[in-house]
């Protein structure tokens, strides 16, 4: 049974929704702390007021293998984002606002439709800035029979206090760990203190759900799955990321080291990011993960023995 069912039955989910909704009047949902009154139409960096927007939804077969299973991951792509990544490959959604305003009731209907289609989970893509709206939709959908796991699929720039509101609601956390260098995060994603904020958030996520648990069908049921997009010229600081995961999260962390970087959005004039990733850069990132003892790598066969750290 998905985690949120117990909170729904006990009445605690409704109380959590009220607490989350109240935050919108002086918004501090994410570490930007814009302090705007979203309930009365004000918007901050995420350019979202009281209602959320959705760009698309449906079964997704391009996610990590444990999320896709046989019938797909039920993705809901929310419009806008609290990051400003210059290389975002979905910038028409995250930064240009492509999407349609939806009520929480409509989001609940989408969740139920995805469950009806056989999706193994509800995959909430870029949810950070619309947590209260999502929680309200979950409450509505749970009352109408929603029971499959919920995935929080985010950029990793999260408030620990907001994550605590989600404790017992989210089954699978899937954050990015984009950078280990603060200056690169500031320059290329427009946020300060990304590594420190990101690491505190990932620790909280792991505290809530632990390592990724996969059932006999190969489908994820609960736990933490981390994504790390390898950037050209070492900009992502992969070694710092994988060392942190191994030392401070868990050597059993399920990690997707992603090779799909290509120049997009505003990076064509930035020499360090204006070319696709090279094979040797990706291979080096995988070897670094294994050097630090991480073997649960998406799409990779585990080796019998990791390279000894020296």
Which of 103, 167, 176 lies closest to 140, judged by CA? 103
**What digits encode the pLDDT tens for the residues 103-129?**
999 999 999 999 999 999 999 999 999
Report the pLDDT averaged over residues 7-36.
Answer: 97
**224 with 269: CB under 8 angstroms?**
no
**What digits encode the pLDDT tens for the residues 181-212?**
999 999 999 999 999 999 999 999 999 999 99
Q: What percent of the chain is modeled with pLDDT above 90?
A: 91
pLDDT band at 309 (very low <50, low <70, confident <90, very high): very low
pLDDT at 267: 85
**What digits encode the pLDDT tens for the residues 226-244?**
999 999 999 999 999 999 9
Which of 267, 228, 257, 237 lies closest to 85, judged by CA? 267
The model's pTM? 0.95
150-154 vs 100-102, strand pairing mode: unpaired
* Angle formed at CA 215 by CA 211 and CA 219, multiple of 5 degrees: 85
Which of 62, 57, 87, 75 lies closest to 229, judged by CA? 87
Report the pLDDT averaged over residues 151-170.
Answer: 98
Q: Which residues contact 5 (CB under 8 A, 6 or more apart)?
A: 142, 147
| All structural domains of the chain | 3-291 (3.20.20.70)
**What digits encode the pLDDT tens for the residues 59-110?**
999 999 999 999 999 999 999 999 999 999 898 999 998 999 999 999 999 9
Backbone angles phi, psi at 190, to 5 degrees: 70, 30
**What digits encode the pLDDT tens for the residues 286-302?**
999 999 999 999 988 76
């Amino acid at each position: 049974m998905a985690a949120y069912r117990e909170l729904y039955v006990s009445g605690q989910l409704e109380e959590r929704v009220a607490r989350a909704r109240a935050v919108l009047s002086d918004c501090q949902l994410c570490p930007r702390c814009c302090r705007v009154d979203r309930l009365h139409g004000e918007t901050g960096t995420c350019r979202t007021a009281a209602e959320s927007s959705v760009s698309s939804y449906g079964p997704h077969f391009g996610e990590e293998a444990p999320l896709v299973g046989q019938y797909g991951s039920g993705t809901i792509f929310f419009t806008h984002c609290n990051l400003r990544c210059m290389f975002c490959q979905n910038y028409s959604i995250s930064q240009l606002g492509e999407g349609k305003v939806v009520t929480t009731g409509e989001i609940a209907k989408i969740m139920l439709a995805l469950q009806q289609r056989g999706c193994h989970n509800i995959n909430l893509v870029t949810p950070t800035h619309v947590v209260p709206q999502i929680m309200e939709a979950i409450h509505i959908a749970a009352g109408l029979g929603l029971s499959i796991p919920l995935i929080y699929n985010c950029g990793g720039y999260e408030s620990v206090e907001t994550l605590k509101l989600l404790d017992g609601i989210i089954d699978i956390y899937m954050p990015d760990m984009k950078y280990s260098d603060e200056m690169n995060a500031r320059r290329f994603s427009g946020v300060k203190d990304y590594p420190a904020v990101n690491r505190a958030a990932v620790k909280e996520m792991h505290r809530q759900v632990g390592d990724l648990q996969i059932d006999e069908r190969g489908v994820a049921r609960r736990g933490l799955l981390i994504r790390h997009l390898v950037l050209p010229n070492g900009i992502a600081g992969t070694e710092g990321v994988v060392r942190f995961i191994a030392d401070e999260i868990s050597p059993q962390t399920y990690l997707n080291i992603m090779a799909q970087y290509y120049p997009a959005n505003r990076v064509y004039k930035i020499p360090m990011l204006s070319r696709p990733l090279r094979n040797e850069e990706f291979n080096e990132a995988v070897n670094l993960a294994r050097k630090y003892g991480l073997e649960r790598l998406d799409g990779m066969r585990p080796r019998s023995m990791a390279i000894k750290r020296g």
